[in-house]
Amino acid sequence: MIGIVIVSHSAKLAAGVQELATQMVQGEVKIAVAAGIDDPENPFGTDPIQVHQAIESVYSDDGVIVLMDLGSAVLSAEMALEFLSEEQQNKVKLCEAPLVEGTIAAVVQAANGADIEQVLTEARGALAAKVAQLGTPPISSPSVHRGGHKEGAKEIYLTVKNRMGLHARPAAKFVATAGKFKCEITVRNVSANSDAVNAKSINQLVTLAVCRGDEIAIAASGSDADEALAALQQLVETNFGESLKDSPIPPLFPTPTPPLSRSSLSAIPASPGIAIGRVFLYQQTLAEIEDIQVDNPQTEWQKLHAAIATAHREIEMLRQNAATEAGEQEAAIFDAHLLCLEDPTVLEAARQRIFEYGLAGTTAWKVVIDKTARTYEALADPFLQARSADVRDVGQRVLRLLTGVAAAPLNLPEPAILVANDLSPSETAQLDKTKVLGICTVSGSANSHSGILARSLGIPAVMGVSEELLHLENGTLIVLDGETGEVWVQPDEAQLSELQAKRDSRLAAQIAFKEVAQKPAITSDKREIKVMANIGSIADAKVAVNAGAEGVGLLRSEFLYFHRHTPPSEEEQLQIYEAIASTISPHPLIIRTLDIGGDKPISYLHSALETNPFLGWRGIRFSLDYPDLLKIQLRAILRTTHQHKIKVMFPMVASITEIRAAKKILATAQAELRQAGILFDETMAVGIMIEVPAAVICADKLAAEVDFFSIGTNDLSQYVMASDRTNPKVANLADAFAPAVLRSIAQTVQIAHNAGIWVGVCGELASHSNAVPILVGLGVDELSVNAAAIPAIKTAISQLTMAQAEAIATAVLQLDSAAAVREYLEIQIMKPKV
């Protein structure tokens, strides 16, 4: 690609032009600056050596365009050419176009892949539009789009509904999605009347302080604006993959609880559990940075880029480990870390301090990171304040790489309680759960990512303790209670005995709970109900097995198609399916074919923004319009059946015609594999999702075509109740506890059993322990739930008899509202004691 060099007397002017040009093409074109001279008293001027270095930094065989302001800038550029080889000189063109307009025109044309002559022509004609406009009679000033969005941009308004708003993890997903598109994208917080910010900047986005219930406006202008808006809309409307249910979070300022003794210290509870052990003091190693200036900014910039690249690889490895240990949702914390490294505003600020002020890379990086962290700390929202720790964590990682200062090892010689001033998310994610009995820090909060990771790892933790704990000697006996926030230093025998009893009681309850989860789910009168897991990755499969899943009732295969530019190949899919099947072996795996379109668009498959996406081109409708895409997926699934227990099911089926068309493509895939001599299970079970009223009404006809039904209560609820579950004004109507939805389930189960096929429920209703008696009483054969819900669901099943369940199911079908159903269940059900 063509490289661009800006030569100017003023470093600030050149930097401004460079920034404007970079924003126009989102960094796709290499742009170098040669501006100003190294004379503090008279910094204006140009230097041929500097111009030569700038040309070399962006040089490629495609050529380089050099734009200049005036006077000596032209002379310096001409002189710089003399330092180049003859071959290089032939590929470097000096352009007489005006600096600002010419640079913008040149980079835009270069970003489109034009050759050097086309770029030169475009740059030289850059003033044509302005001349034409000013040569006509005066016109009124163009209006400015309110909120700072670019005039003429396409704009959508959405409500953010996930519990903590645009905190780091959803913000990371937002920026990653925006970054896939070439168009210019901005976002503003309508509820806070904020200005628009760059949607591809993680730090700018988070500082909008978007909270739950806030309305945001996303605007896009460019060739792929429609696709970008559709993708971002899908991301927001699916709540960034997070549950809308309020999970318990330790209070920011917990109500003080009466201590067991006067010697206990108060802190912030961050992760539940009682830890008893000896102190292990940990002191973070921070890179010491001196405020120094350098003579070779290009070298400093290259060093910083190398350190950032290494940090990126380290964080990716850390993310993989965190996904295995703490789960995919918690590992997503490090997506925000990765995006912080790539944040264009952070990188540009560091670059300016290196090239304009002559700061060392270490100094420039530290200044920018500190400033960014302070921006978070100044926000009113405690959740966003806590994100400053993530910024500093990323910053320290890069600084250690730049200075060669290694992080202090966190290797405990024996099990102990870790006492520290603070722990970064990176440090917390690497803790050895077998050695760290508990965590006790002076800084931090329950909302910090360190606190979140501690909870996911199951390590009791308190934060905000007195600094006097940092002066304890290693080996001092302490006790902490992560639920109450209390800490005891050297408790006496009576206190220790009481705390041990309390700890042992909790551990016994947890063990009993886990033991139930690892056993089959059997009612008191010996009816077995299969409890499976809903998953969306290999990491999810591992979590599900550990939680007691008896297989996978729903693998959302679309995860293979997201975050890429082309569909996954047959071999890629085969490897993933085999890895998941091996992880849950010998249990079965049900793979749902690609369920995208409408509310889950994929730009490279040309799925466009729709007015009513939930009533649109999605599920099986989409796949049948891409028969080759579906056949490739079915071939990969069939090949997996040779060594594993695999079933396949098709989503969003509403008619006999659709399932027969899908089965025809399946038959074609089977025929191809037979002809190629590739083994597969000829008897692989085929099922469909029951998600639309049409499928319920025609269940008898559909049952004759398949081996099983799986009821998706999330979609079924919104279609039965005619309420878009992404629309906050009517979302409450899309309630799976509504009698109309429950009657649809009852009708489906009865018809399926009459036809001799089994029925599962894989929607969110199956993960509600209160719904268990209804579903079991209606005759559902299998429940597929979120992995975290498995122990509670199995416990609820074990406390039922079929007679009790059937009586409850019969009763709720006669009630008149979802609220009445819930009230009835609260009265009837004895909740599990855990």
pLDDT of residue 253: 35
What would the two tokens of residue 152 be? 């003429």
All residues at 6 or more sequence positions from 623 whose CB lies less than 8 Å from its CB, including other chains: 593, 594, 629, 630, 650, 662
Catalytic residues, by residue number, are: 449, 762
Question: Domain 264-284+409-504: which topology?
Answer: Glucose Oxidase; domain 1 (3.50.30)
Q: At 234, phi and psi to the nearest 5?
A: -60, -40
Task: Say how many C-beta atoms besides its own lie within 10 A of residue 803's C-beta.
Answer: 12
- The phi, psi pair for 173, rounded to 5°, reads -65, -40
pLDDT over threshold 50, residue 211: yes
Query: How many Cβ atoms from other residues are within 10 Å of residue 647's Cβ?
Result: 22
Mean pLDDT value of segment 461-479? 89
Q: Quick one: pLDDT at residue 405?
A: 80
What's the token pair of residue 646?
A: 């695999």
CA 99/CA 107 separation, integer angstroms: 12
Query: DSSP of 39-62, one letter per residue?
Result: -TT------HHHHHHHHHHH--TT
Contact 829, 804 (CB under 8 A): no
Is 297-403 a domain of CATH 1.10.10.10?
A: no
Q: Does domain 3-134 have CATH number 2.60.40.1180?
A: no
pLDDT tens string 415-454: 999 998 888 888 888 888 889 999 999 887 766 767 777 8
- In angstroms, rounded to a whole number, what is the distance separating the alpha carbons of residues 401 and 42? 36
- Highest mean pLDDT of the ranges 101-105, 570-574, 721-725: 570-574
Rounded Cα distance between 123 and 645, Å, is 62
CATH number attached to the domain at 148-241: 3.30.1340.10
Nearest-5° angle of CA 662, CA 664, CA 665?
65
One-letter amino acid of 366: K
Residues 6+ apart with CB under 8 A from 731: 723, 724, 725
Residue 731's pLDDT band, with cuts at 50, 70 and 90, is: low
CB 464 within 8 A of CB 268: yes
Establish how many alpha carbons lie within 13 A of residue 111's alpha carbon, considering only the half-sphere containing its beta carbon.
18
**Which pLDDT does position 608 carry in this prediction?**
58
Burial bucket for residue 31 (CB in 10 Å: 0-12, 13-18, 19+):
buried
What CATH number matches the domain at 518-828, 3.30.420.40, 3.20.20.60, 3.40.50.10810, 3.40.50.2000? 3.20.20.60
pLDDT at 505 over 90: no
Task: Classify 187 as helix, strand or coil.
Answer: strand
Token couple for 317:
């490895």
- Alpha-carbon distance of 414 to 805, in angstroms, equals 50
Domain boundary assignment for the chain: 3-134, 148-241, 264-284+409-504, 297-403, 518-828
Task: Reply yes or no on whether the pLDDT at 63 is more than 60.
Answer: yes
Q: What is the pLDDT of residue 411?
A: 79
pLDDT digits (tens, 9 = 90+) for 287-316: 777 767 788 889 999 999 999 989 988 888
Tell me which residue of 252, 272, 263 sits closest to 484, measured CA to CA: 272
Full DSSP string of 79-101: HHHTTS-HHHHTTEEEE-S-HHH
**Which residues make beta-bridge pairs with 533?**
552, 785
Instruction: With cut-offs at 50, 70 and 90, classify the pLDDT of residue 247.
Output: very low
CB 472 within 8 A of CB 279: yes
Name the strand (E) or helix (H) holding 33.
strand 31-35
Would 3-134 and 264-284+409-504 be classified into the same CATH topology? no
Distance CA 172, CA 338 (A): 9
pLDDT value of position 328? 63
